[in-house]
Structure 1
Amino acid sequence: MYEALCNHIVYILARSAITIFPQRKDGRRDFRVWNAQLIRYAGYKMDDGKIIGDPANVEFTD
């Protein structure tokens, strides 16, 4: 999985692309990327309520 993701990153440096992994099957390990995109900015909520970074990712990076 790590190698596939690294290959994807190298490939997308010159073009837009999408990587599609196989369908889940019972009894077999599956692939998961937990956030909406492979590369995206983190979002943090500060003590004063101000958000630094991407507001869409505050819950994920909290």
Structure 2
Amino acid sequence: MKKLKTSKSIKKRIKVTSSGKFLRHKASRSHLLQKKTSNRKQKLKQVTCINKKDASSFTQKLPYLSK
């Protein structure tokens, strides 16, 4: 059987927890920060889990990383 290829771009952006959940950083934190409130910018720093519906597509793109 052939080896499955991992998506390198997704591998760099996503971490997997020990329970198998995917973690990601929130978007919109790179530029145009003057108009965003400090409270909003604080919330954009946080790491969040990926939705369960989207997790199935990530398991296909990261076959050896996921548990």
What TM-score does the superposition give when structure 1 sets the normalisation length? 0.22
Highest RCO, 1 vs 2 (Cα 8 Å, sep ≥ 6):
2
